[in-house]
Amino acid sequence: MISSLPLKTLQNREFRNLLTGRFFIVLAFRMLATLLGWWVYQLTKDPFSIGLIGLSEVIPAVSCALYAGHVIDMNEKKKLLLICNYAYVFLISLLLIPAFLNVELHFSGHEITYFIYAVIFLTGIARAFIGPIVPSMIPKIVDKVNLPNAITLNQAIFLVSSVCGHAAGGFLIEFYGIKWTLVAVIVFMILASVFFWKLQPQFSEHKKEEIKVMESIKEGVSYIFKTKEILGALCLDMFAVLFGGAVAMIPVFATDILKSGANGLGLLNAASDIGSMIIITTLSLVPLRKNQGKILLAVVAGFGLCIIGFGLSEYYWLSFMFLVLSGMLDGISVVIRGTIVQLKTPDHIRGRVLSANSIFIMSSNEMGQFESGLAAKLFGVVRSVVLGGSMTVLIAAIVGISNSKLRKMQY
């Protein structure tokens, strides 16, 4: 049965502005990720150097995440969102220096690479705050009955912007080069802020002196560990994506194995998001109604099998299809995980829980990028991807056996 909730949810102007702003900022982030992976690999020709991009961002992001959750819960969210948005604009603008003035200033490839790492390290601090802010605002904007659908639409917009960002990043690099692609990234970040300005302020339910920082952080973390469904879903996400992060090595596959160039890089980067977008659009119309816990475990295992297939493939379109299928399975996982976290979390600690959630996400994505680079250096690119996919399947089996509450979860 097809649901009419998407149209009802999108009639909310505040929700539309939030999603539109998120579309443009995620578009910019994905273009930037594609750009940096390509730029650094062209400078160094070392897969490990791509992994260091993720490590540069994840260290400050994870270190600041729990404190960020406290700040989000204790302060007005719109103001924080705009501060983080403009912090990103300033920091990414610094990359225009080596992009435009490389010849005049006689930068070496290693100097540019280290400068990129330094800038990305600083963006990691802003990332710790901006990641949880948008999802923490949604429950105050939409009615509770529309919340599962709003979460699905939020993920759909995220994936549409990811697909467009990865693909556009590849095409712009191919036709306009690194420096003008970087300019486009900054323009989209500024455009995102235009829609964030239209949001209504969301003030804290707490008085700032009401709760101490460490007590606030402890409350959020304790809630996650007490709620086995949330803990199981987050652990599944963290370890599965940590080991199944084949996407980080796509610049190497595109350059050295599939011989597809920058255009092929953009499409391969977008492939998993294309799959996720298809399935999440479907789920927004025909939602999952039962056995969500068992489905979550099954699709994570299937995701691992797709990563193995991608690692073994030597044909471009076969590799592309494995990534699309992996994205479809991951899209189902994202919807189920996101709904579990939002439905199981009270409003007064939502920022802290979502910030702790962001640690799991950032650990899996950025540490997965570092792990992929390190494994590629030690075992070779193909073996590292196949090994990572195998570990993902194993993690799904372990979590399924050990966490009965998640296995039986329905909403």
Sequence length of the chain is 411
Residue 252 within any structural domain of the chain: yes
How much is the pLDDT for 193?
A: 96
Question: Residue 122's closest CA among 78, 90, 162?
Answer: 90
224 within 8 A of 64, measured Cβ to Cβ: no
How much is the pLDDT for 2?
A: 45
Residue 267 within any structural domain of the chain: yes
**For residue range 68-80, what is the model confidence (pLDDT) as tens digits?**
887 887 888 899 9
Q: What is the pTM of this model?
A: 0.72
Residue 5 within any structural domain of the chain: no
Number of domains the chain is built from: 1
How much is the pLDDT for 83?
A: 94
What lies within 8 Å, CB to CB, of 72 at 6+ separation is 80, 129, 132, 133, 136, 351, 352, 354, 355
CA 115 to chain centre: 23
CA 24 to chain centre: 14
pLDDT > 90: percent of the chain: 20
Q: What are the Cα distances from residue 344, in Å, to 36, 40, 147, 204?
A: 37, 41, 12, 20
Residue 4 within any structural domain of the chain: no
Q: What is the CATH number of the domain that holds 194?
A: 1.20.1250.20
**For residue range 89-121, what is the model confidence (pLDDT) as tens digits?**
999 999 999 988 876 667 787 889 999 999 999
In this predicted structure, the answer to whether residue 361 has a pLDDT above a threshold of 70 is no
Across the chain, what does the average pLDDT equal? 82
CA 318 to chain centre: 25
How much is the pLDDT for 115?
A: 93
Residue 2 within any structural domain of the chain: no
Which of 16-25, 278-287, 368-377 bottoms out in mean pLDDT, i.e. has the lowest?
368-377
Collapsed DSSP state (helix, strand, coil) of residue 341 = helix
How much is the pLDDT for 210?
A: 53
Most confidently predicted of 169-178, 198-207, 213-222: 169-178
Collapsed DSSP state (helix, strand, coil) of residue 312 = helix
Q: What sign does the CA torsion over 233, 235, 241, 244 have?
A: negative
Residues 359 and 32: their CA atoms lie apart, in Å, by 21
Helix (H), strand (E) counts: the chain: 16, 0
Residue 309 within any structural domain of the chain: yes
Q: Round to the nearest angstrom and report the end-to-end CA distance of the chain.
A: 17
The pLDDT confidence band at residue 43, using thresholds 50, 70 and 90, is confident
In terms of pLDDT, which residue wins out, 233 or 212? 233
**For residue range 10-25, what is the model confidence (pLDDT) as tens digits?**
778 898 999 999 999 9
Residue 91 within any structural domain of the chain: yes
Work out the number of other CB atoms within 10 angstroms of the CB of residue 408.
12
In this predicted structure, the answer to whether residue 34 has a pLDDT above a threshold of 70 is yes
Residue 244 within any structural domain of the chain: yes
For 173, the domain range is 13-203+211-407
370 within 8 A of 54, measured Cβ to Cβ: yes
How much is the pLDDT for 258?
A: 83
Question: Residue 160's closest CA among 285, 22, 336, 317?
Answer: 22
